[in-house]
Amino acid sequence: MFVTRRFLTSTLSFTLSLLFALLTQGVWAAASELGWPGDLHVVTGPKGGQWFTIGEAMGKIFTANGIPTRSFIGGGTDNLKLVGDEKADIAFTFYSILGENEIRTGKKYTEDGKAILWAKLYPQVLYVVVKKDIGERLGLFSLKDILTAGEGFRVAFPSRGSGSEFLLNQLLRYGYRTDYQQLQNRGWAISFQNHAETQRLFQAGEIDACIYTSGPGNGQIPTLMENDPTGRLLSIDAGALEIMSQRFYTFTYTFRPDDHRNLTKEVDTLGDYSCLVANSSLPDELLYRISELIWTNREQLTRVADDLKYLNPKLAVAGNCQIHPGALSFWNTLSSEGVGVN
């Protein structure tokens, strides 16, 4: 019988695919006996954002290692509820959102006891950027300055329902005793935009200012500060930072002149953390294993999102929020071995 090279290649490819599927099925069948879910559901962030990108890469790593995983688009404020309602197993959110829930309910995890911290991943910092000519004309150096300037501004705020929008909303409410409606009543034209559109609007001169959060080393907003000489970075006032720290477990992040070429002095802003939460009913062994997979594949994940370079065992478990026992066991094992602590 005459056999072509194409036939041999396709047959080999099919055989390898079948073998991989059988091996994966076998691994997962054994895992299912331990009480692990049939597949993991991960809710990330809006398409194109950093959480979305990390979640997609993370899911591929888990699946390739015998833990079938599907990721879904979500948002910082809704993600915690999805895990709490058992509609998702794992979610990205802000540490402040988890912290606010714990402080409000007096419990160490969400009100129904279902969502619990898996790991802090990297800092998430607030950028308040105003057009430099406007800042110079009005003497704007802080968020308080622009809020009390006495005139309206065209401003881009974070997308509705996002972790960034939650953080800004709480900062305005508790740190400055104002809200969106009051600002609009004073002539502010507010729109809610994603990172990319915010950058485009600012560079096109279609808005006067923007407020957003981002990891300190990546994304459109840090790039905007790095490359656009028309932007001025405003600080967050010390009183507002203290209020937020007490209420939401946030911290003060300081930009230094060498962080961005347009900075000439230190600027204090609001700091938070991007983090992962997990359903508290997930088995300890599963959380240990997927924590291990994230850590051993961190170089690959860092190529997807540079801010993951900040992940280390000390950061992962730092803070006041209770962490899943399986994840805690893994991070503590690394710490005890002196591994990966920057």
CATH number of 36-122+274-336: 3.40.190.10
Distances (CA, A) of 334 to 46, 274, 316, 329: 32, 21, 11, 9
Pairing of strands 267-279, 90-94: antiparallel
* 217 pLDDT more than 80: no
What is residue 228's predicted lDDT score, i.e. its pLDDT? 61
What is residue 99's predicted lDDT score, i.e. its pLDDT? 75
Token digits for 85?
């309602």
Q: How much is the CA Rg of the chain, to the nearest whole Å?
A: 23
Helix (H, G, I), strand (E, B) or coil at 319: coil
DSSP 236: P
DSSP H helical ranges for 33-105: 50-64, 76-84, 95-105
- Please report which confidence band the pLDDT of residue 226 belongs to, taking 50, 70 and 90 as the band edges: low
* 334 pLDDT more than 70: yes
pLDDT digits over 150-175, tens only?
A: 889 999 999 888 889 999 999 999 99
What is residue 27's predicted lDDT score, i.e. its pLDDT? 46
* 113 pLDDT more than 60: no
Pairing of strands 40-43, 69-72: parallel
Roughly what angle, to the nearest 10 degrees, separates helices 163-170 and 76-84?
110
- Please report which confidence band the pLDDT of residue 39 belongs to, taking 50, 70 and 90 as the band edges: confident
Residue with tokens 């840090």: 222
pLDDT digits over 268-280, tens only?
A: 999 999 999 999 9
Cα(186)–Cα(153) distance, integer angstroms? 9
What is residue 138's predicted lDDT score, i.e. its pLDDT? 96
Average pLDDT, stretch 103-108?
54
What is residue 90's predicted lDDT score, i.e. its pLDDT? 95
CATH number of 124-273: 3.40.190.10
Cα(265)–Cα(257) distance, integer angstroms? 5
* 200 pLDDT more than 60: yes
The mean pLDDT value of the chain amounts to: 83
Cα(168)–Cα(165) distance, integer angstroms? 5
- Please report which confidence band the pLDDT of residue 222 belongs to, taking 50, 70 and 90 as the band edges: low
Average pLDDT, stretch 219-239?
73
- All structural domains of the chain with their residue ranges: 36-122+274-336, 124-273
Tell me how many helices (H) and strands (E) the chain has.
Answer: 15, 10
How many residues are present in the chain?
342
- Please report which confidence band the pLDDT of residue 1 belongs to, taking 50, 70 and 90 as the band edges: very low
Residue 313, CB-side half-sphere exposure with 13 Å CA sphere: 18
* 121 pLDDT more than 60: yes
* 33 pLDDT more than 80: no
Distance linking the first and last C-alpha atoms of the chain: 63
70-74, 197-201, 227-231: which has the minimum mean pLDDT?
A: 227-231
| Residue spans of beta strands (DSSP E) within the chain | 40-43, 69-72, 90-94, 115-131, 154-158, 189-193, 209-214, 231-233, 251-255, 267-279
69-83, 107-121, 197-211: which has the minimum mean pLDDT?
A: 107-121
Helix (H, G, I), strand (E, B) or coil at 254: strand
Cα(244)–Cα(170) distance, integer angstroms? 8
